Amino acid sequence: MSEEERNVVAPEQVPVADSIVARFGNALRTDDRDGYEGYVVSVESLKDVATVLRDELGYDYLSSVTGVDYFDEGKIEVVYHAYQTSGGPALNFKVQVDRENPILPSLVSVYPGADFQEREIFDMYGVSFEGHPNLRRILMWDGFAGHPLRKDWQEAYFEEENKPFDSRWPGGDVKRSEAENRFGKNVSYPDEFDIDNWAPEDDSSLYAGLNKSGSNGKKLKTDSLVVNMGPQHPSTHGVFRMVVALDGETITDLQPVMGYLHRNHEKIGERNTFLQNMPYTDRLDYLSSMSNNLGYSLAVEKLMGVDVPERAEYLRVLMAELTRVSNHMWAIGFLLNDLGAFQTPALYAIRARELILDIFEATAGSRMMCNYMRFGGVARDLPDTLRDENTVDFIGDLVNERLPAAIDELDRFLTGNEIVRSRCIGVGVLPADKAIAYSTAGPLLRASGVPYDLRRAEPYSIYDRLDFEVCTRSNGDVYDRYVVRIDEMRESVKICQQVMREIPEEGEIFTGKPQYNVRVPKGESYGRVENPKGELGYYVVSKGKTNPYRYHVRAPSFINLTVLGEMCKGHKVADAVVILGSIDIVLGEVDR
Amino acid sequence: MEAVSAAQIIFIVVALLTVATTFLVVTVRNLIHAALWLVATLFGIAVIFVLLDAGFMATVQIVLYIGAIAILIVFAVMLTRRVMQDVGPQSNENWWLGTIVAAVFFAAISTLLWSIRWPALPGAVVGDTVLALGRSLVDPNQYVIPFEVASVMLIIALIGSITLALPGKQSE
Amino acid sequence: MSPVIGIVIEAIIKSALMVFVLATAFAYLTLAERKIAAFVQVRKGPNRVGPWGLMQPAADGIKLLFKEEMVPAGADKVLFFLAPILTMIPAMVIMAVVPIGPDVELFGRSIRLGISDLNVGMLYILSVASVAVYGIVLAGWSSANKYSLLGGLRASAQMISYEIALGLSIIGPIILAGTMSLQGIITAQQQSTWYVLWQPVGALVFFLAGLAEVNRAPFDMPEAEQELTAGYFTEYSGMKFSLFFMGEYIKMVAVCAIATTLFLGGYLGPYVEQLPWLGILYFTIKTTALLFLMIWIRLTLPRLRYDQLMAFGWKVLLPLALANVVVTATATVLLG
């Protein structure tokens, strides 16, 4: 693809006022690498620049922080994407630091939402952030040697740098990677390892950081209790652990501990070809694989500069919105489960979801791991018949009749319920300023009264042509998050109705010729979509090869958890479970 | 010598068990175990009430002492002590003083009990014992004064504990 | 045959029958709950073992029997073993004073359908109920697990709190009937009418406090799965676990049976005078209806939070029960 074409689709460069550029002099310069955008900031002035951006230019929302290992240049680059909550494109600034001794100032004091993301960079790249309040590994365990996302780190079963690999059956001889592993088939241990006397490292460092002084200022000396909720716990929605310091039943501090499901998604992504990553994105937030596909497609399409045919755009939006409905159904049903309802609301909620999954199955071939979108379109068109009905009639019936009825039913049974109200109103309150500062996204942010929805703030696909409201509430408690989800489902259904009315009858669903190995031009790109759980972003760096050089996922579940401890303080243990449920996390996305 | 009746055998066994459990209450090291032996003691006393045909007193003994007081003790121990182990000395340097006081008190009570000439029972209460008990508690000729005094005392204790537990009263 | 031996044999037979009936009731109550849950939740429920899944309880029992018994390393072995038994026994013996039918003629003897009729029957029920909390507390403490400990603490606090409201709510029927014997209360209802009409508040308080007493939703705090995994029996497995399970369900049956006796006229019903055996049928129907209500509530409502639960018990139920006692007593004295 020519240089010209790419410039057409490259997102608008965000101009920073000249005066500010001048103020920082050499410390702030435009990133002039081929296919890159934004600014490069010097290490020393990073914090000042961030503060100015936040306070003077209104870039109050730090969407994503991530690292890239430029091995050949001996640099590690940390990339920040900041946005204005009033809408508009990203301001992207980077800082480069030496690979051997990477030390950076922490931005947690400017953007508290950088907390977990900086810890992740520390974990994955070994970059130390000075001034970070709690710089510990976050996804890998504490004793892990090395930093997995560095380019010179190779895992135990390492075969080759890039896929597709050579045949494992060269000349008919099977080559098994476990045969090359010193642990064999994982049943024997090295000689020096003594399983009987092995003691896991204790978590004293984790517990030491907890604030246990809930009873300060009282005459009575009380002992605080540290409870590990999880990783094996019925209401952490997966293998997630909350270390809770309790004074009686009141939470004085809460630390989320994650990484039990970590599979180094991003390293795998760097080894796969661009297209091979598509099914992997399904496994992030496995309840909304369609939207995950969409975000990744947008990021890569931005680099490739391909257009998506009209019908495919409509299909994408239809699928993404149906995903939102099914995800919110799930979220509400299981929020009620966390409130202690015995499965009944959950089963009522996911009854309608089955029909949505039927559509997915008939269209994409799979109910949950859809793998439906492609760069420049979608994989398949709608089938002719679905459940022995005309597909268009089936979907029309669903979005016009059955889904609104199902949503009304949930609304009728739950919204006014006395126990639901008394358990949810005023619980886990998150004020708007804090919600922005902590980079929360999705219903969590909107329930706090911030009308920030990417479909409106920075429209992608055909959302600028569709008529829908951004649902907000003002109190920022668990109840408002629930109501926002109900409202959002209604809006999604409205979008689906428009799509079914306006979708072109016939038409291409894919641009160009389908190919296994797409060539993606050099450059970086950040594609983000309004996922049901919040802003899902993909940061992709291409060096012009068939594999991405860097593939990063800005996971809404992960970043929304940053504020969990803050929201739970002062509430009861039972509330912690409900607050976690109201964030609506999926561990596949948190741990990646 | 008279033949020992079945009721007497039961009484002797129960009384011995009650005393034995009382002994265990003060000797076992684990506080929860001590509290549970106390429950056993209280239960033994309830059985003795049954042997005396005082079914009402027996059930009240269980409801109040086992169901309320002892469970509160267990509750308090669970709240204040580290989960399983309770190490540390069982007595402090004043143990001899306590022994003397206890011995003197025991002697005094024993003397008192021996010296009183207990009146013979006028015969078992006929009819509904619960009814008779209830009547006697509100009969001006019998126990209405002690009953009311006890009630007032309990109310005072109740109000006192509420006052103590009220929040915001810590500042001197 | 001397009359004493006859009475002893009769008591033994009736006790054994009662244990058998309660154990069966437990087994089929679990099945009923699962079936009703399935019905409510648009599912089918157990339907593989026997016709309509009728053999499911047996299959579950066999499975639990053969499960490995685990004892946590730091547990207090004796108490850990004792706790399920202490939960189970009160649940069983509480039914001893509940009459399930009028006296019947059998083998030339007049036989009371109920193990015993104490003149302090209601107090007996309260005392047994107050002992039942020990099993739960000890299970929580002896497991050496924080979830269990929290569950045990919650349970004891909850049961002590609601016992007061429970105790006060039964004073109404006692005043009306003028006796603490359950047989007497039923006889008194035969002369007037079901006490639920005279004592609607008392009946409501009794049912709610009873729900809390047996740890059923929405008061199932001690075993709140979402917060405390399974509460006090987190560490229990196999037969010990099933004893807890059994204790809980039999307590449900007991609470419903007592509520039936106190407020719904027990075994009374049309033609019970002529055909005394009908009494058992009426009693079963009424108890089952209450059990269904309990299950229905569990399937419908979310759980209250612990502090809300305590506040409800102390600030709503207790004053309500107290007021009910005062009003009932005053009215009885004034109206005779």
Flag whether pLDDT at A532 surpasses 80. yes
Q: Residue B50 falls within a domain, yes or no?
A: yes
User: Which residues have CB under 8 Å from A568's CB, separation 6+?
Assistant: A244, A251, A254, A428, A575, A576, A579
Q: Residue B159 falls within a domain, yes or no?
A: yes
Q: Residue A57 falls within a domain, yes or no?
A: yes
With beta carbons less than 8 A apart as the criterion, state whether A64 and A539 touch. yes
* B68 plus B2 within the same structural domain: yes
Whether residue B79 lies within 8 A of chain C, CB to CB, comes out as yes
Residues of A in contact with B80 (CB under 8 A): 223
As to burial, measured by CB atoms within 10 angstroms (0-12 exposed, 13-18 middle, 19+ buried), residue A42 is middle
Nearest residue of chain B to residue C73 (CA atoms): B84
Question: What 3-state class would DSSP assign to C49?
Answer: coil
Q: Residue B108 falls within a domain, yes or no?
A: no
Residues of B in contact with C129 (CB under 8 A): 67
Q: What's chain C's length in residues?
A: 336
Whether residue C124 lies within 8 A of chain B, CB to CB, comes out as yes
Confidence of residue B121 (pLDDT cuts 50, 70, 90): low
Contact C144 B83 (CB under 8 A): yes
With beta carbons less than 8 A apart as the criterion, state whether C266 and C260 touch. yes
Whether residue A249 lies within 8 A of chain C, CB to CB, comes out as yes
As to burial, measured by CB atoms within 10 angstroms (0-12 exposed, 13-18 middle, 19+ buried), residue B51 is middle
Contact A341 C42 (CB under 8 A): no
* B75 plus B2 within the same structural domain: yes
User: Which residues have CB under 8 Å from B149's CB, separation 6+?
Assistant: none
Whether residue A223 lies within 8 A of chain C, CB to CB, comes out as no
pTM, rounded to two decimals = 0.79
Higher pLDDT pick, A512 / A476: A476
* B78 plus B153 within the same structural domain: no
Contact B36 C76 (CB under 8 A): no
Distances (CA, A) of A2 to A13, A520, B165, C96, C166: 19, 12, 79, 91, 82
Q: How many domains does chain B have?
A: 2
- CATH at residue B52: 1.20.120.1200
Interface of B with A in 52-71 (CB under 8 A): none
Distances (CA, A) of A231 to A123, A289, A330: 20, 24, 21
Rounded average pLDDT over A339-354: 82
What average pLDDT does chain C have? 83
Last residue of a domain, one of B18, B51, B84: B84
Whether residue C220 lies within 8 A of chain A, CB to CB, comes out as yes
Flag whether pLDDT at A199 surpasses 80. no
In terms of Cα–Cα distance, which of A558, A561, A568 is closest to A589?
A558
**Residue A569 backbone class (left: φ over 0; alpha: ψ -120 to 50; beta: rest):** beta
Last residue of a domain, one of B84, B107, B133: B84
Higher pLDDT pick, A484 / B76: A484
- Looking at A62-166, list the stretches that DSSP marks H as alpha helix, in order from N- to C-terminal side: 115-125
Q: What's chain B's length in residues?
A: 172
ipTM: 0.77
d(CA C37, CA C55): 18
Q: Residue B113 falls within a domain, yes or no?
A: no
Whether residue C76 lies within 8 A of chain B, CB to CB, comes out as yes
- Looking at B30-142, list the stretches that DSSP marks H as alpha helix, in order from N- to C-terminal side: 31-51, 55-60, 71-80, 95-115, 129-138
Whether residue B170 lies within 8 A of chain A, CB to CB, comes out as yes
Residues of B in contact with C146 (CB under 8 A): 83
Contact C217 A423 (CB under 8 A): no
Give the range among A34-38, A307-311, A524-528 with minimum mean pLDDT.
Answer: A34-38
* B10 plus B70 within the same structural domain: yes
Q: Pseudo-torsion of CA C248, C250, C254, C256, nearest 10°?
A: 80
* B6 plus B77 within the same structural domain: yes
Q: pLDDT digits over B17-46, tens only?
A: 999 999 888 888 778 888 888 989 999 999
Flag whether pLDDT at B153 surpasses 90. yes
- CATH at residue A113: 3.30.460.80
Gap from A234 CA to chain C (nearest CA, Å): 6
Q: What is the reported pLDDT for C18?
A: 86
Flag whether pLDDT at A2 surpasses 50. no
| Burial state string for C98-107 with b = 16 or more CB within 10 A and e = fewer than 16 | bbbbbeeeee
Residue B161: domain span? 125-167
Flag whether pLDDT at A6 surpasses 50. no
What is the residue-level pLDDT of chain C in tens, covering all 336 positions?
567 787 788 888 888 888 888 888 888 888 988 888 888 888 888 888 888 888 888 888 888 888 888 888 777 788 888 888 888 888 888 888 888 877 777 776 777 777 777 777 888 888 888 888 888 888 888 887 777 877 777 777 888 888 888 888 888 888 888 888 888 888 888 888 888 888 888 899 999 988 888 877 777 766 655 556 567 777 788 888 888 888 888 888 988 998 998 888 888 878 877 777 888 888 889 999 999 998 888 888 888 877 788 888 888 888 999 999 999 889 888 886
Q: Residue A568 falls within a domain, yes or no?
A: no
Rounded average pLDDT over B59-80: 82
- CATH at residue A475: 1.10.645.10
With beta carbons less than 8 A apart as the criterion, state whether C190 and C273 touch. no
B74 token code pair: 């267990």
Confidence of residue B160 (pLDDT cuts 50, 70, 90): very high
d(CA B83, CA C168): 35
Whether residue A219 lies within 8 A of chain B, CB to CB, comes out as yes
Residue A76: domain span? 3-130
Q: pLDDT digits over C230-281, tens only?
A: 677 777 888 888 888 888 888 889 889 989 988 888 888 788 777 778 888 8
Gap from A569 CA to chain C (nearest CA, Å): 16
Q: What is the reported pLDDT for B172?
A: 40
Confidence of residue A215 (pLDDT cuts 50, 70, 90): very low
Q: pLDDT digits over A380-407, tens only?
A: 888 888 888 888 888 888 888 888 988 8
What average pLDDT does chain A have? 82
Q: What is the reported pLDDT for A189?
A: 55
Contact B84 C74 (CB under 8 A): yes
* B80 plus B129 within the same structural domain: no
User: Which among C218, C228, C299 is the nearest to A344, CB-wise?
Assistant: C299
Interface of B with C in 99-158 (CB under 8 A): 128-130
With beta carbons less than 8 A apart as the criterion, state whether A14 and A91 touch. yes
Phi first, then psi, for residue C260 (nearest 5°) are: -60, -45
Gap from A269 CA to chain C (nearest CA, Å): 35
Q: What is the reported pLDDT for A3?
A: 40
**Residue A216 backbone class (left: φ over 0; alpha: ψ -120 to 50; beta: rest):** beta
Question: What 3-state class would DSSP assign to A511?
Answer: coil
Best mutation target among C127, C159, C162, C235 (most B Cβ atoms within 10 Å) is C127
Contact C304 A234 (CB under 8 A): no
Q: What is the reported pLDDT for A4?
A: 40
A29 token code pair: 């310069």
Last residue of a domain, one of A90, A114, A130: A130
Flag whether pLDDT at B60 surpasses 80. yes
Residues of B in contact with C120 (CB under 8 A): 55-56, 59, 130
Which residues are registered as beta bridge partners of A255?
Answer: A243
Q: How many CB atoms lie within 10 A of CB B119?
A: 6
Q: Which helix (H) or strand (E) holds A497?
A: helix A478-502
Q: What is the reported pLDDT for C221?
A: 67
Q: Residue B74 falls within a domain, yes or no?
A: yes
In the sheet that holds A241-247, the strands lie side by side as A225-229, A241-247, A250-257
Confidence of residue B171 (pLDDT cuts 50, 70, 90): very low
Percent of chain A topping pLDDT 90: 3
Contact A340 C306 (CB under 8 A): no
Q: What is the reported pLDDT for A221?
A: 55
Q: What is the reported pLDDT for A9?
A: 39
Q: Residue B129 falls within a domain, yes or no?
A: yes
CB pairs under 8 A between A and B: 3
Flag whether pLDDT at A192 surpasses 80. no
Whether residue C306 lies within 8 A of chain A, CB to CB, comes out as yes
With beta carbons less than 8 A apart as the criterion, state whether C90 and C132 touch. yes
With beta carbons less than 8 A apart as the criterion, state whether A405 and A399 touch. no
> Residue C191: what residue type?
Q
Q: Residue A118 falls within a domain, yes or no?
A: yes
Q: Residue A477 falls within a domain, yes or no?
A: yes
Contact C137 B71 (CB under 8 A): yes
Q: Which stretch, A252-261, A481-490, A510-519, has highest mean pLDDT? A: A481-490
